[in-house]
Homo-oligomer: A and B are copies of this chain.
Amino acid sequence: MPSIDPIERTLSRQGHRLTGPRRAVVDTMRLLGNHFTAEEVQQALPAVGRATIFRTMKLMRELEMICQVVLDDGTIVYQLVGEDESEHHHHVICSDCGKVAEFTSDGLERLLEDVASMTGFEVGAHRIELYGQCDSCQKK
């Protein structure tokens, strides 16, 4: 009986075993909502070993099932990638409540290639995050 869950299906189609701990981590991430730390996942699952939490999160990052987001103070949160859209994107992060939103910009990507070509470097990847206040935090 193959799992109906899209994340679980991708995991096993990619040749990874569908274990209890992995299912629990995925479920917990969905419960935690917009963004979560590794520690929040761990605290929600005291029966799962700490190393397994991190191993599972690393695997999910490699399979691009979660995004890693660096906050402005350097702490790290994660976000589940939306059910269908797993395209290249970046994040806007609320410095007050931690809310993470996504954006894409072809103009930005094009401009970065221009910048890259002027540096003498062969640029392959980039990291971009915007920090500010989300609309609900602005109103407060």
Chain A interface (Cβ < 8 Å from any Cβ of B): 70, 72, 92, 94-95, 101, 103, 105, 107-108, 111-112, 114-116, 118-135, 138
Q: Which of B105, B107, B127, B132 contacts A128 (CB 8 A)?
A: B127
- A124 neighbours in B (Cβ, 8 Å): 95, 131-133
How far does the alpha carbon of A63 sit from the alpha carbon of B111 in the complex, in Å?
A: 30
Report A135 CB to chain B, min CB distance, Å.
Answer: 5
How far does the alpha carbon of A131 sit from the alpha carbon of B133 in the complex, in Å?
A: 28
Which 6 residue pairs spanning A and B have beta carbons closest together? Answer: A123-B132, A121-B132, A125-B131, A122-B133, A92-B119, A123-B130
Given A107-B111, A108-B115, A135-B120, A126 and B127 contact (CB-CB distance below 8 Å)? no
Q: Which of B92, B111, B122, B125 contacts A108 (CB 8 A)?
A: B111
Given A103-B115, A111-B108, A92 and B131 contact (CB-CB distance below 8 Å)? no
